[in-house]
Amino acid sequence: MAVNHATEAPRALGELVVVYDASKDHFDVDEEFLKKHHTSLGMNWNIYTSEGTRYKFYFSQGFVTITGKVLGGWKHFCEEKNINDGDKVVFQYLGFSKYNYIPAEPNQIGA
């Protein structure tokens, strides 16, 4: 019997762990993850929240930051999600140009 994959949730290929820097309104990114997934400088990506909201962002400055292409900047996103300066945030990597924001406690990261 065939399995209907269309109704299944997308399977994460990895997790992108970032740290919010409120003073610069961006996330510091794990450089090795970006190299592994061949992300190029200035490439546009999408983040989808659990509510289905889409945020555009791009990697810049030598693969170490995500600069928001978000209405109101990342500050608005972080206030809405109760993310504070220095907090770790997890995005599930779903494949080319797609990430999904997942709330995570700092002690759950890397578990």
Half-sphere exposure of 82 (CA within 13 A, CB side): 4
CA–CA gap between residue 13 and residue 4 (Å, rounded) = 20
pTM above 0.85, yes or no: no
CA–CA gap between residue 56 and residue 73 (Å, rounded) = 10
What does the pLDDT profile of the chain (111 residues) look like in tens digits? 554 444 445 566 667 777 888 887 777 766 666 566 555 545 555 665 555 565 555 555 443 345 555 555 677 778 878 889 998 887 776 665 565 666 555 444 443
Q: Classify residue 110 as left (phi > 0), alpha (psi -120 to 50) or beta.
A: left
Which residue range(s) make up the domain with 92? 12-105
pLDDT of residue 39: 54
CA angle, 30 then 71 then 24, to 5°: 45
Question: For 13, which DSSP code?
Answer: S
Asked if residue 90 is part of any domain, the answer here is yes
Asked if residue 6 is part of any domain, the answer here is no
Beta strands at 65-69 and 14-21: parallel, antiparallel or unpaired: unpaired
pLDDT of residue 25: 74
pLDDT of residue 22: 84
Q: 23: domain CATH number?
A: 2.40.330.10
